[in-house]
């Protein structure tokens, strides 16, 4: 790379992206992907790939990011939604990993307090349980030390009475006490979206629904890019890049197979399931981390008027895009909940929503799913393909830093550079420009008042401010324009404003993008989805110019999601679509295009 080209590349990192993360600018972004040569192409728009794209872009690398589905559509929207240090990994002597990801919790919180919230966690201690009182105290003390936990968030040990005062639903029989410590709750999909948006601000070209259909090589057998396929239009085009990173999560072995480099260590996929209950049936006050009869650990977490609980950990060999939830999965979690919270007497009919995802772990001979290390590993193939596999959501930024360090060395050896140092440790994510978490509460109060002045209810305004952080001003800005249409369509003003922002600034291309990964509504606001999904689809149809067939197809997609997730709703779709039998497993993968 000559000096003039290098100067142009560095200029991109100091400006806003030439193409915003907007659905309406999709054609221009695809044109850019097909015409330019990138320093780095990242395959996979989950949290790991997004983190690499951000780190690379901020260092001055001309960067592209693609995903065959929506951003965060795989593992990165299907986790326990915690930025946590992995206390249980101390039992497996994963001391280095606990220390590293424990420290990263505070980094994520500092850079994105609008999507990361400190959550006091209670670990009840029972006679004959996995954790004894002494081992819990020692483990939590070591956890605080390794993670560098600040004084006011360090662990304390509670008596049985104090433990029940924190959470009266707990089983009292055999209770010895509890450990009380801080984890961080997050919205995993929104965290990923905010990373992608920040990468786009720094010059990365990011596109969802673009599949790496074929790998391209030069005359020496070195990887030089991919053939991209737009999964919405079917269009194909070359994407040229000096370095290609395979960060496709559960699909990394498929990319390695395409590269003919799937040798040595491979993935082992395990499935995790979470169930959601309304607080009227599961009125949990306090986040709980508890052990199940089979020795596994499980979380129960209150959130926005709901309680979600999980997770399972079983081997999985099916389609990673749609792992599904079986009757056995549900029964296992409900049984565990009733054992720990016996007064609830939960049944399968109480399940309001659910999600399942797969963990892409590095295969280890002879170990059960729960025993497999969550460490990440980097593989380099003879063609130059760099693959990152394994790891935890909490450690995404550090994983990205390691991969981008390698990219900088490789590109530097090729005469493309020099590149700057990693700056992501102190770089606020999109929406996180508060000047630190301490300023967040005052910001929420101020923006709630601003939202009320625009005609929003207090709860709606506060919800928008918390979800979008400092980008809430852009959400509020569309309200005068959409007010009349919102009244005509009888859709809540805050929901319409969030939808417009999702399309204009977050590349929500399909209704399920918005309802699952931009808002989490299909997990935690099922009633709102049922009331307003048709208005949402109609608005998107006008915005994107869908024809009647496309619109009907997306209606079927959302109705299928409601039927399969909303198990407590005796709901019959309009126009006579039959309801699927309760507790029927998921079918095949949702269509990527129409």
For residue 52, pLDDT over 90 is answered with yes
443: left (phi over 0), alpha (psi -120 to 50) or beta: alpha
Q: What is the pLDDT of residues 26-36, one digit of tens each?
A: 999 999 999 99
Structure tokens that stand for 104 in this block: 């990263």
CA distances from 383 to 217, 225, 237, 378, 539 (A): 8, 11, 21, 15, 46
Contact between 152 and 318 under an 8 Å Cβ cutoff? The reply is no
Q: Note whether 203 and 180 are same-domain residues.
A: no
Q: Note whether 287 and 154 are same-domain residues.
A: yes
Domain annotation covers residue 441? no
Choose one of 327, 347, 371: the last residue of a domain.
Answer: 371
Q: What is the pLDDT of residues 296-341, one digit of tens each?
A: 899 999 999 999 999 999 999 999 998 999 999 999 999 999 999 9
Number of structural domains (the chain) is 3
Q: How many residues does the chain have?
A: 594
Q: Note whether 130 and 202 are same-domain residues.
A: no
Q: Note whether 482 and 404 are same-domain residues.
A: no
Query: What is the four-CA torsion angle of 381, 383, 389, 393, rounded to 10 degrees?
Result: 140
Looking at residue 95, its pLDDT comes to: 75
Q: What is the pLDDT of residues 219-267, one digit of tens each?
A: 999 999 999 999 999 999 999 999 999 999 999 999 999 999 998 888 9
Q: Note whether 175 and 273 are same-domain residues.
A: yes
Q: CATH no. for residue 498?
A: 1.10.8.870
Query: Structural domain of residue 214, as residue ranges?
Result: 3-15+26-75+190-251+385-426
Contact between 277 and 358 under an 8 Å Cβ cutoff? The reply is no
Q: CATH no. for residue 219?
A: 3.50.50.60
Contact between 410 and 90 under an 8 Å Cβ cutoff? The reply is no
Q: What is the pLDDT of residues 268-296, one digit of tens each?
A: 999 999 999 999 999 999 999 999 988 88
For residue 96, pLDDT over 90 is answered with no
Q: Note whether 132 and 247 are same-domain residues.
A: no
Domain annotation covers residue 124? yes
Three-state DSSP at 176 gives strand
For residue 3, pLDDT over 50 is answered with no
Domain annotation covers residue 45? yes
Domain annotation covers residue 241? yes
Choose one of 349, 371, 393: the last residue of a domain.
Answer: 371
Q: Note whether 497 and 565 are same-domain residues.
A: yes
Q: Note whether 420 and 533 are same-domain residues.
A: no
Q: Note whether 174 and 223 are same-domain residues.
A: no
Look at the block and give the residue holding tokens 């399968």: 348
Number of CB atoms found within 10 A of residue 121's CB = 24
For residue 54, pLDDT over 70 is answered with yes
Longest dimension (CA), the chain: 73
How far is it, in rounded angstroms, from Cα 268 to Cα 393? Answer: 17
Question: What mean pLDDT do residues 160-189 have?
Answer: 96
Domain annotation covers residue 95? no
Q: Do strands 205-207 and 314-315 pair parallel, antiparallel, or not at all (unpaired)? A: unpaired
Looking at residue 100, its pLDDT comes to: 79
Q: Note whether 196 and 178 are same-domain residues.
A: no
Looking at residue 12, its pLDDT comes to: 42
For residue 413, pLDDT over 90 is answered with no
Q: Note whether 350 and 483 are same-domain residues.
A: no
Contact between 43 and 241 under an 8 Å Cβ cutoff? The reply is no
Produce one character per residue of 432-453: b if its CB has 16 or more CB atoms within 10 Å, e if not: bebeebeebeebbeebbebbee
Domain annotation covers residue 446? no
Q: For the whole model, what pTM was predicted?
A: 0.92
- Among 500, 496, 472, residue whose Cα is nearest residue 486: 496
Domain annotation covers residue 332? yes
Q: Note whether 279 and 339 are same-domain residues.
A: yes
Q: CATH no. for residue 284?
A: 3.30.9.10
Domain annotation covers residue 87? no
């Amino acid at each position: 790379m000559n000096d003039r080209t290098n100067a142009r590349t560095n200029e991109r990192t100091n400006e806003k992206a030439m193409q915003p993360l907007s659905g309406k600018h999709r054609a221009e972004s695809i044109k850019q992907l097909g015409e330019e040569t990138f320093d780095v192409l990242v395959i996979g728009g989950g949290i790991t790939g997004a983190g690499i794209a951000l780190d690379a872009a901020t260092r001055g690398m001309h960067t592209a990011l693609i995903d065959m589905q929506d951003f965060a559509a795989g593992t990165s929207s299907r986790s326990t939604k915690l930025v946590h240090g992995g206390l249980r990994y101390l039992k497996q002597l994963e001391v280095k990993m606990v220390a590293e990801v424990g420290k990263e919790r505070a980094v994520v919180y500092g850079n994105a307090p609008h999507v990361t919230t400190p959550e006091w966690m209670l670990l009840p201690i029972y006679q004959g349980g996995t954790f004894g009182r002494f081992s819990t105290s020692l483990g939590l003390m070591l956890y605080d030390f390794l993670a560098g936990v600040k004084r006011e968030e360090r662990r304390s040990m509670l008596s049985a009475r104090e433990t029940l005062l924190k959470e009266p639903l707990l089983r009292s029989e055999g209770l010895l006490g509890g450990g009380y410590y801080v984890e961080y709750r997050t919205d995993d999909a929104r965290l990923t979206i905010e990373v992608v948006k920040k990468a786009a601000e720094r010059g990365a070209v990011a596109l969802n629904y673009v599949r790496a259909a074929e790998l391209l090589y030069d005359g020496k057998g070195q990887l030089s890019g991919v053939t991209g396929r737009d999964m919405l239009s079917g269009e194909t085009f070359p994407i040229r890049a000096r370095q290609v990173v395979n960060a496709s999560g559960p699909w990394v072995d498929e990319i390695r197979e395409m590269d003919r480099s799937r040798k040595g260590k491979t993935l082992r996929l395990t499935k995790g399931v979470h169930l959601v209950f309304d607080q009227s049936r599961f009125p949990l006050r306090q986040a709980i981390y508890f052990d199940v009869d089979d020795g596994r650990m499980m979380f129960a977490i209150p959130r926005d008027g709901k309680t979600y609980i999980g997770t399972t950990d079983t081997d999985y060999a099916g389609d990673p895009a749609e792992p599904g939830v079986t009757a056995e999965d549900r029964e296992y979690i409900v049984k565990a909940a009733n054992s720990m919270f016996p007064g609830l007497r939960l049944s399968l009919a109480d399940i309001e929503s659910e999600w399942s995802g797969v963990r892409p772990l590095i295969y280890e001979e002879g170990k059960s799913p729960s025993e497999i290390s969550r460490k990440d590993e980097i593989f380099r193939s003879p063609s130059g393909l760099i693959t990152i596999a394994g790891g935890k959501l909490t450690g995404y930024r550090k994983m990205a830093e390691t991969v981008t360090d390698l990219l900088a060395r490789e590109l530097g050896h090729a005469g493309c550079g020099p590149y700057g140092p990693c700056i992501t440790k102190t770089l606020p994510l999109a929406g996180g420009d508060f000047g630190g978490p301490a300023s967040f509460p005052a910001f929420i109060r101020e923006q709630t008042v601003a939202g009320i002045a625009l005609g929003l209810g207090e709860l709606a305004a506060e919800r928008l401010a918390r979800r979008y952080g400092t980008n809430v001003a852009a959400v509020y800005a569309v309200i005068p324009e959409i007010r009349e249409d919102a009244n005509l369509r009888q859709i809540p003003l805050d929901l319409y404003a969030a939808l417009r922002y999702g399309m204009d600034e977050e590349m929500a291309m399909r209704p399920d993008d918005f309802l699952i990964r931009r808002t989490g509504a299909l997990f935690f606001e099922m009633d709102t989805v049922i009331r307003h999904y048709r208005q949402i689809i109609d608005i998107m149809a006008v915005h994107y110019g869908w024809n009647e067939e496309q619109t009907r197809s997306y209606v079927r997609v959302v109705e299928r999601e409601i039927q399969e997730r909303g198990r407590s709703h005796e709901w019959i779709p309009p126009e006579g679509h039959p309801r699927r039998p309760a507790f029927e497993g998921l079918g095949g993968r949702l269509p990527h295009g129409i």
